[in-house]
Amino acid sequence: MSLEFVEHPATGEHKATVIWLHGLGDSGDGFLPVASQLSLPAELGVKFVFPHAPVQPVTINGGMTMRSWYDIKSMDLDKRADEAGVRESAAKVEQLIEQELNDGINANKIILAGFSQGGVISLHLAPRLPQKLAGVMALSTYMCVPEKFTAEAKQTNLNVFMAHGRHDDVVPHSAGRSAFDVLSAHNMDVSWQDYPMAHQVCGEELMAIRQWLIARLS
């Protein structure tokens, strides 16, 4: 079943697309206001797509059902991302990318972004795609099966924007740095930003995201 989503249309002609994945228990509506806040130049023609994760039981939350890109069985970082669930959601997000390609948007005008759980999917999928995207935005996140990255990644020199809170008590700052190290070792064009915040997005970070998006999509 394909993912449902909300979108923020491009101003004028549609020339580029940002697909932005939310975190655990949120929905596409959670990040929808960010599209307006970024106020990207109209001439870039950027459409934002905010998919909703499937509703499923989450083990660490007592099996309660909520929007989740994959099950979380343990808070231990090496076991936190359910690999089968990550791959399943990544395949669904890939369908959204294929839809943009079919609509005439070039891969070099598509950004895949994600916060926390959504960032795990973004970091997993983009390097494994046959087409090289304009970039990946990985916010307050970590990596699923880093030990399989070298064998499975099809892209090198992919541009990755990473940002993390120095006081993140949900996804440790060190987990983000570990993902950064894996990407760097694979010759990705990866940048790192951190901020004096918890597991969230701050205004200074949004300004950096805005500048990065303009640079990648101009």
SS3 107: helix
Rounded alpha-carbon distances, angstroms, from residue 138 to 32, 39, 159: 17, 20, 11
The residues that bridge with 194 in the sheet, in sequence order, are 164
The 3-state secondary structure of 111-166 reads EEEEECHHHHHHHHHHHHCCCCCCEEEEECCCCCCHHHHHHHCCCCCCEEEEEEEC
Burial class (CB in 10 A: 0-12, 13-18, 19+), 181: middle
- The catalytic position among 14, 52, 186, 199 is 199
Angle between helices 83-102 and 117-125 (to 10 degrees): 70
22 counts as catalytic: no
168 counts as catalytic: yes
- By the 8 A CB rule, do 173 and 199 touch? no
140 counts as catalytic: no
- The catalytic position among 27, 68, 116, 140 is 116
Enzyme catalytic residues = 116, 168, 199
